[in-house]
Amino acid sequence: MTNIEKNNKERSRKTIYFFMTLSLILLFLLYPALNHPKIQNHNVSILLDRHIPLIPFFVVPYLSFYFLIFITILDASTDFTSFKKVGAAFIVCLIISYTFFYFFQTVVYRPKIIDKDIFSILLNLVYKIDNPYNNLPSLHTSLSSICLFYWLFIRKHFKIIFSIWIFSIILSALLIKQHYILDIIFGLILGIASSLLFRNPSS
């Protein structure tokens, strides 16, 4: 490969890094604009949802989701091929999710929190900041699934730690009443499908 070809390849990689990063930032910033009630929204709860307990402590793994996304993208950015896999999966996952949010908005009915312990206070804060819409598919579940795919099959480090962490994040979405079971199921399907779609992009 000549120096010109190497320079062109490096320039191409930088361009892809830039536009994928920009796309991710814009997509994440778009979320609040979609998280407002429409004229019609849907309740996708099933009977089993009523028997799931509220456990405020799980607000901790729920909030750790944002750190998981950050370190996964940061780690993947050190390798161009890995970054393309993760970035493309995130982008497709977000676009599909936002399409659902816009055309089939769902709502979750959350309990009133009256306890004053630190976890209940944090959970109340989450409830105040994050409106109860745009639940299906669960982004906590779909994006966490993409992260799990990355740490299990691409990075192949700290598999047990990340598996437990990501499982606790997905479980937390149910145990703090942010999502219903169907939200989680569709989130898993979307996250796994997005990961598999870009499992072998060309370098």
Mean pLDDT by 10 residues, the chain (203 residues): 66 86 93 87 93 95 97 92 93 96 93 89 94 94 96 88 96 96 97 89 46
Range of the domain at 124: 3-197
- Domain membership of residue 184 (yes or no) is yes
Supply the pLDDT for residue 157: 80
Q: How far is CA 32 from CA 9, 15, 129, 177, in A?
A: 37, 28, 10, 19
How far apart CA 63 and CA 119 sit, in angstroms, is: 11
Q: Which of 119, 136, 132, 131 is nearest to 62 (CA)?
A: 119
- Domain membership of residue 58 (yes or no) is yes
**Pair 164, 54: CB distance under 8 Å:** no
**Pair 162, 152: CB distance under 8 Å:** yes
The count of domains in the chain is: 1
My answer on whether omega of the bond before 61 falls inside 30° of 0, hence cis, is: no
Supply the pLDDT for residue 10: 75
Q: How far is CA 64 from CA 2, 105, 144, 172, in A?
A: 45, 25, 11, 10
Supply the pLDDT for residue 203: 42
- Domain membership of residue 203 (yes or no) is no
- Domain membership of residue 135 (yes or no) is yes
- Domain membership of residue 202 (yes or no) is no
Supply the pLDDT for residue 90: 97
